[in-house]
Chains A and B, each alone.
Chain A
């Protein structure tokens, strides 16, 4: 898949601290030139996708209101094919399979490093 320059990236996590860490790590991984927007849970993420039309969504899994997997399934049910990846503290084989089947491109397990993002986003983003 060819990388895209100047992408809009939506970061969805109920922890404000983690949203900041994900953004900071993306910059450390060389993706600081892209635009970042944030949402605090899956419900807010659905609204943010509709309002901002991001090129990529990085979402936590375990969130109040609408979880990450519910968020992804809701996007696909309404025909939205936005590129989607999970950033989550849980990473069992079952979760990875569930994520893939729902349409996620990758699952990054916390704790992560800048290298983790570089590898997962290789081909998706141009640093």
Chain B
């Protein structure tokens, strides 16, 4: 399916980059830069953590934030101001879930409304791939943090 012109106008890749960079700068004191390989950046291999929020209403889709398990742990430790290795898996998930919530919430604010943002969900596992059946990949952005790559993908439900 070909994505409609308005979808790409209201939400551009630079919006996703800017929103994510603002969140990282505010809460992690880290500067994100775009991955040197751009959209061709390789998928995250090994154990990873993926946060997801869904938007439903006038615009329907999903926003994913994915990084390695080690990076997710480090991000959560910064957010909690915790010692290395001291957080539980739930606390690591809470950290990435909240980062995903902020990225997704700000992306939602740029899209047609009214719509509702879901609570974040977080998946942790080895070699996870992200996909949404019946949806189209609107944007995939790869950013580099000091601890490794962060992948953000925005999916739009085909029926909206």
- Chain A residues close to B by CB (< 8 Å): 14-18, 20-21, 24, 62-64, 88-92, 94, 109-113
Contacts and interface: CB of A to CB of B under 8 A. Distances in A.
Contacts, number: 59
A12 to B, nearest CB: 14
B79 A90 contact: no
B109 A90 contact: yes
A62 B109 CA distance: 14
B94 A90 contact: no
B137 interface: no
A92 B108 CA distance: 9
Interface of B: 22-23, 25-27, 76, 79-81, 91, 94-95, 97-98, 101-102, 104-106, 108-109, 113-114, 117, 119
Nearest to B99: A17
A15 B98 contact: yes
A3 B70 CA distance: 44
A124 to B, nearest CB: 22
A90 B27 contact: no
A64 B119 contact: yes
B94 A20 contact: no
B98 A18 contact: yes
Nearest to A92: B109
Given A64-B119, A89-B101, A90-B117, A20 B108 contact: no
Point out which of B23, B76, B109 has the most chain A C-beta atoms below 10 A from its C-beta: B109
A112 B108 CA distance: 17
B102 A89 contact: yes
Given A17-B79, A92-B109, A109-B106, 7 more contacts: A17-B94, A17-B98, A18-B98, A20-B79, A62-B105, A90-B108, A90-B109
Contacts of B109: 90-92
Contacts of A94: 113-114
